[in-house]
Amino acid sequence: MSKPAKGDMKTDGAQLKTTKATKATKAKPGAKANDAIATVRQRFLVSADALAALVDKLAAAGTPAVAPAWTADGTTDATDATVAATARETEYRSVSGAAELALGERLPRLSLKQYFLPPTEVLFSYRRNGGGEVELTPAPTDFAAQVVLGARPCDTAALPIVDKVMNWDYADELWNARRAATTIFSLACGVEDDSCFCSAVFLDPATAQGADGLLTPVDDGYLVETLSDKGDAFAAAHPESFAALAAGTDKAATEQAERFRAAAGERVAGHLTLDHERLRNWLENHFDDPFWATLGLRCNGCGVCASVCPTCHCFDIVDEPESVGRGVRRRNWDTCQTCVFTLHASGHNPRADQNARYRQRIEHKFHVYPFKFGDVLCTGCGRCSRACPTSQDLAEILAAINAKAAGESAAPDKAGKASKAAKGADAAPTTGADS
Ligand code: SF4
Ligand code: SF4
């Protein structure tokens, strides 16, 4: 695989476009550019009552929507000092009624990832039939249709990013089948906090990337814009909820929605600015930088950051005997942050300390994945920073690297010179490994 010119790096994201002329665009490094421009197909005004009625109707029909909902146990996030102790958390789950909805509230604890890559799942079952014959039964991939309502754009945007590795050297049938069976309406975000930095990774609080439709709060409920065939089909299946905008109302509602989205975008844009080309160059040339030790020292290797992350996608595969001669092969979420992730059977571990393991997290997301797939493996949702028990703050870390890189760019002679050849496969994005 030849290395692309630096200016050829694509970026994440999808902007809303209101004409039929959709065109894939090639992004410029460091610009807020998008590799796909979502075309708005139809606009509807959906009142809050109509949306609630739709959620109730789906639940009554036995096809409940997945949506942000108050956690069933009412737990609070004790690690977040900015949130009152009584504030309840939200989570994505199948809601049995509109009363459970928590639209536009705090970011759900876990991302949408679990609906496409469950924490654990069977890949196939096996049975020894005697005579050395083994019968394999693949896990079914005929998933029932599901709809997600009110997802955070930073969660929805992660899905097409992960699609790329799930269809790279092997088409992951389980992932792809769930993706195909799911229709997603995301909700433009207006409740960012200090950990959010979506705009620093080519997205914004109302990115349409990965969504079949986008809801934006307006006075009378939500402006709903469909963005795909699946989005159109869902709207057509529920005409009582999706009221077409009357002439004149269209302009007013659209303008109000655009003001909402622009204001949120401006707020988040102030959180972090990254020069991705510079960042990649610094990562490529500082494999042995002392900075990694300062991060490794603070990381306890718990892996929470990967579990909550919408883009982390690593899994381990194990065979689980269930009885004599039969069992299942299962995959389970795994993470490069634990000490056993790269432990060889010989006892050798190529990532021998937490410095190397944390470096891997940053390298993979901001250097290797962009090199291989053109996308940054991060949507700036900030979950890893909020959830980290040792207060490892990704936005702060990226800002620090960015500042180091900017300083070295001003004084190129002081740049680290570690050669890629001396670093091993970890730092070489030309290897076949995704991570
Ligand atoms: S959540 Fe924090 S402590 Fe745990 S592995 Fe991630 S960075 Fe390290
Ligand atoms: S790395 Fe952190 S900020 Fe980026 S997508 Fe994952 S959880 Fe969100």
**Model pLDDT, residue 5:** 35
What number does the ligand 2 atom closest to the CA of 382 have?
3
* Ligand (nearest to CA of 299): 1
- Which residue's CA is minimally distant from atom 2 of ligand 2? 384
pTM of the complete model: 0.86
**Model pLDDT, residue 362:** 98
Cβ of residue 388 lying under 6 Å from some atom of ligand 1: yes
The tens digit of pLDDT for each residue in 65-88 reads: 999 998 866 555 545 555 554 567
The distance from CA 155 to its chain's CA centroid, rounded to whole angstroms, is: 5
* Ligand (nearest to CA of 300): 1
Q: Residue holding tokens 């005579």?
A: 131
Residue 19: exposure state from Cβ atoms within 10 A (0-12, 13-18, ≥19): exposed
Half-sphere exposure of 340 (CA within 13 A, CB side): 5
Q: How far, in Å, from the CA of 305 to the mean position of ligand 1?
A: 5
At 331, which helix (H) or strand (E)? strand 326-333
Domain ranges for the chain, please list them. Answer: 6-269, 276-427
Cβ of residue 308 lying under 6 Å from some atom of ligand 1: no
Residue 105 phi/psi, 5° resolution?
-95, -160
- Which residue's CA is minimally distant from atom 8 of ligand 1? 299
Amino acid (1-letter code) at residue 167: N
**Model pLDDT, residue 392:** 97
Residues of the chain whose pLDDT is less than 70? 1-37, 72-87, 246-248, 411-435
Residue 162: exposure state from Cβ atoms within 10 A (0-12, 13-18, ≥19): buried
C-alpha 107/C-alpha 137 separation (Å) is: 38
**Model pLDDT, residue 283:** 97
Helices and strands per DSSP (H, E), number in the chain: 13, 14
* Ligand (nearest to CA of 305): 1
Cβ of residue 305 lying under 6 Å from some atom of ligand 1: yes
**Model pLDDT, residue 84:** 53
Candidate of 300, 308, 309, 364 to mutate for ligand 1, largest count of ligand atoms within 8 Å of Cβ: 300
Helices (H), 193-288: 229-237, 249-269, 276-285
Cβ of residue 394 lying under 6 Å from some atom of ligand 1: no
Q: How far, in Å, from the CA of 103 to the mean position of ligand 1?
A: 28
* Ligand (nearest to CA of 158): 2
Pocket of ligand 2 (CB under 6 A): 308-311, 365, 378-384, 394
